[in-house]
Structure 1
Amino acid sequence: MTERAATYTEVFAVREYRYLFTAYLLSLLGDQLTAVTVAYLVYTGTGSAALAAAAYASSYLAWLTGGPLLTGLADRIARRRVMIGCDVARALLIPLAALPGVPAPALVALLFAVNLLRPPFVAARAALLPEVLEGDRYPVANGVDNTTAQIAQVLGFAAGGGLVAALSLRGALLVDAATFLLSAVLIGIGVRARGAPTRPEGPARGGPSVGLRVIFTDQRLRAYVLVLWVATAFTYAAEGLMAPLALQYRGGPGTVGLLLAAAPLGTATGAVLLTRFCPPRTRPRLILPLAVLSAAILTVVALAPPLWTVLGLLMVAGAGSAFGVPLNALFGRAVPAEFRGRAFGVAITGLSGLQGLAMILAGLAAERWAATTVIGTSGVLGAMGVLALAPLWPHRRSRPAAGPLEHLRMTSTTPEGSATASQAANLR
């Protein structure tokens, strides 16, 4: 590991990453535009807030189902082909929502089907990046992706409203479809064709249980995922309480927008500081302290400080949650290539499920207690949870427990019962 952080120029000098990044940005914008536009289309057509909420929440539900079932495609099929296939399928499905007379329940089901294609796309891209980027370019690129995702979330919401106003709801959906089609074209042009990560009879056999075994039988991977899940769940609970928090401070929609924007802005800033200005050797040592900080700082919200202080606390919590950027790089490099798609699928599926559950529980708690009290309590519990996991965190000199992973490889053999040459090389 080098002492100097890679520069953005060095990251974008990699031709494949330039195309992957542009395609990723288009897919992010397309996801946001689709969710906003279809949810609005459902609401204006039915007047049902419940159906509109179901349409918007389909992205979370899709991860809970598509994550376990479909992310394994990234280990069975060439990852470039998986990404192109997902984008093309989304580009074909979305225009169906623009057809006149489509009933609202069908629109919700259609959006759910579109969102089901996101897990295999994300898993394939995450599994491919370590093969595209060498050295410190990989963690720095993770920081770029993280910052881009935060900005794209805000721009996607704003662009969705602008497109609806300028082009009508159905015209906006056609633009959404075009983003996915262009993403597929860019991946096809700029990403080098690679074979499937494993032979069909190799470790690609098996579903999400393989990803779970890979993660939870390895000391490092288990610690990485548990810290990510626990810290993120308790800090993410606050995001579901921005509306009641704004009302507690006698604010309106503008206040809600400011509160929602504070944490993503902090995360984007923290990602830049960690990847661009922090030496590579230092980043792993900051993961646990930042994970604790991301939750612990929210305990001050329980005191119901002035609104400007709450905004600052949310920004600091967001900056602390940037610990996920170097953690993602550690995780991606620690997982063997042939299991990477399913491992990322398990990690992201669990993350999405816990985030959704945390928001629901926080909302239920806010029915009885003030939003500031619930957020502060969530911060305390999150900090305590991360500290409880600290003894599991691998020390720099500890060696990974490779036995379970080797067993998985050894059981993945050719029909004759002998390991392939590539798998034998992996055992070394």
Structure 2
Amino acid sequence: MAHDEAAPAEEAAPGGYTRVLRVPEFRAVFAAHTLSLLGVVVSEIALSVLVYDLTGSPLLSALTFALGFLPYVVGGTLLAGVADRFPARRVLVVCDLLCAGCVAVMTIPGTHIAVLLALRCALAVVSPVFQGTRMATLADVLGDGDLFVLGRSLLRIVSQSALLVGYGCGGLLLTVLTPRHALVITVGTFLSSALLLRLGTRRRPARAAGRDGADAGAQAAGPVAGARRVLADRRTRVLLLLFWVPPMFTVVPEALAAPYADRIGAGSTGLGLLMCALPVGTIAGELFAGARLRPATRERVTLPLLSFMLLPYLGYALAPGLGWTLFLLALSGAGSAYTLGLDQWFVAAVPEELRGRAMTLNTAGLMTVQGVGMALAGVVAQFAGVPATVAGAGALGTLVCVLLAAQARRGERAADAYRKNGRPNSETGLTTM
């Protein structure tokens, strides 16, 4: 592809998101991602309101949100191989159509509450397959260099922005529409996403097609064997942990935002600001790193950012007021820019025929650990209080991140030695690049 030929020249200049948006296929993926995300946000709000209207139960209403996390691990493990066994465009379009079908059934008057919750689970099972396949497709569309990193960063920025404006817009939408009518809009967004992906992206063969007998055997062995093959490489395991572990700690202040806002007397406005501070910092950090830093610089700052991003949480030990708390959260969020360099290492470490499966596992693990982190934060805060819990998450999280950074540093040095010498290295387990 033409943009691949330009990659060496681009490596010497600071990255710019406009280069990514010049790629027509990426524009289609980007627009489809925005529409799918809009559909997910609206469906979560509308379904939660619908369940509450039908049952009057706050527990069941909250459960509709929880069901967006729990089934991820099922879809991410049992269905991960779908991303590599079938052509990516087909997988993406079918996933969107399945989501549209599930939401369409939700709009039918008289649908039983158990059916609504089961359909919510089905959406969450499909989601990691869709997201993992889409991320793997980015490497096909943009190559596995800097354009891939910037493309993935743009998709993350859209996701974070949805946390800031999506739920507010969804709430406004429900002031003029019933929940079921709002769900009809969601059906439209999923169908539009499917159409964009079908017409705006090229058909490519399945990544697992045409591989040698060993690869074919691994593909046929089932989801557990496939996941085991992804996790067999020590370097890949460490990189996955670098994606998963920090978010498990970063969600702690968000999970405890309501009781902390009550503690400092911030009110509902303060609670909204506390929920927005971390995404704002994340967006700012990613935009700066993606637009202003060179690719090599982004890789150099990956592990330092990882090691220090949770340190601001230690400030919670002083139970600061609203202003300082917002600053601490935004500062920690900016450290999430470490993922840009990590993306580059991950796509280089995973063999192409396993890329879709690896991305799906990554997505499922990320969502699962965030749910676990929120639950554990609530349990600990019940006994230790909110300030001590958040500060403790900062201290423990920093220690774990520093240990993981040391492991990753050894792995990257070994990978660099392999690239220079062209020989397998026992520390990475790599036999091909």
With the length of structure 1 as denominator, give the TM-score of the two structures. 0.91
Aligned residue type for 1:7:
G
Aligned residue type for 2:287:
V
Are 1:355 and 2:370 matched, yes or no? yes
Are 1:383 and 2:398 matched, yes or no? yes
Aligned residue type for 1:47:
G
Are 1:398 and 2:413 matched, yes or no? no
Aligned to 1:49: 58
Residue 159 of structure 1 and its aligned partner are, at CA, apart by 2.2
Are 1:71 and 2:90 matched, yes or no? no
Aligned residue type for 1:313:
L
Partner secondary structure for residue 303 of structure 2? helix
Are 1:301 and 2:311 matched, yes or no? no
Residue 404 of structure 1 and its aligned partner are, at CA, apart by 5.4
Aligned to 2:187: 177
Are 1:136 and 2:151 matched, yes or no? no
For residues 302-327 of structure 1, the C-alpha deviation after alignment (integer angstroms, 9 at most, x for no partner) is 11122100000000111112212331
The unaligned stretches of length 5 or more in structure 1 are 407-426
Describe how 1:315-334 pairs up with structure 2 within 5 A: 315-334=330-349
Are 1:60 and 2:69 matched, yes or no? yes
Aligned to 2:33: 24
Aligned to 1:416: none
Runs of 4+ aligned residues of structure 1 deviating over 6 Å after TM superposition are: none
Q: Give the conservation status (yes or no) of the 8 Å contact 2:132–2:362.
A: no
Q: How has the CA–CA distance of structure 1 residues 365 and 148 changed in structure 2, closer, same or farther, with 3 Å as cutoff?
A: same
Q: Give the conservation status (yes or no) of the 8 Å contact 1:67–1:349.
A: yes
Aligned to 2:120: 111
Aligned to 1:221: 236
Tell me, in whole angstroms, the C-alpha distance in 1 between the residues paired with 2:38 and 2:197. Answer: 16
Aligned residue type for 2:90:
R
Aligned to 1:272: 287
Q: Give the conservation status (yes or no) of the 8 Å contact 1:80–1:191.
A: yes
Tell me, in whole angstroms, the C-alpha distance in 1 between the residues paired with 2:257 and 2:354. Answer: 38
Tell me, in whole angstroms, the C-alpha distance in 1 between the residues paired with 2:386 and 2:341. Answer: 31
Tell me, in whole angstroms, the C-alpha distance in 1 between the residues paired with 2:378 and 2:284. Answer: 28
Are 1:151 and 2:151 matched, yes or no? no
Are 1:165 and 2:180 matched, yes or no? no
With the length of structure 2 as denominator, give the TM-score of the two structures. 0.90
Aligned residue type for 1:398:
A
Tell me, in whole angstroms, the C-alpha distance in 2 between the residues paired with 1:212 and 1:117. Answer: 17
Tell me, in whole angstroms, the C-alpha distance in 2 between the residues paired with 1:207 and 1:261. Answer: 41
Q: Percent identity?
A: 36
Residue 245 of structure 1 and its aligned partner are, at CA, apart by 1.0
Residue 71 of structure 1 and its aligned partner are, at CA, apart by 2.2
Residue 176 of structure 1 and its aligned partner are, at CA, apart by 0.6
RMSD: 1.9
Residue 401 of structure 1 and its aligned partner are, at CA, apart by 4.2
With 318-327 and 207-216 compared, the bigger mean Cα shift is at 207-216
Q: How has the CA–CA distance of structure 1 residues 266 and 206 changed in structure 2, closer, same or farther, with 3 Å as cutoff?
A: farther
Are 1:195 and 2:205 matched, yes or no? yes
Residue 211 of structure 1 and its aligned partner are, at CA, apart by 4.9
Q: Give the conservation status (yes or no) of the 8 Å contact 1:42–1:104.
A: yes
For residues 173-196 of structure 1, the C-alpha deviation after alignment (integer angstroms, 9 at most, x for no partner) is 000110000000000111001111
Aligned to 1:410: none
Figure out how many residues of one structure are paired with residues of the other and give that number. Answer: 408
The unaligned stretches of length 5 or more in structure 2 are 1-7, 419-423
Aligned to 2:265: 250
Tell me, in whole angstroms, the C-alpha distance in 2 between the residues paired with 1:389 and 1:6. Answer: 27
Aligned residue type for 1:264:
P
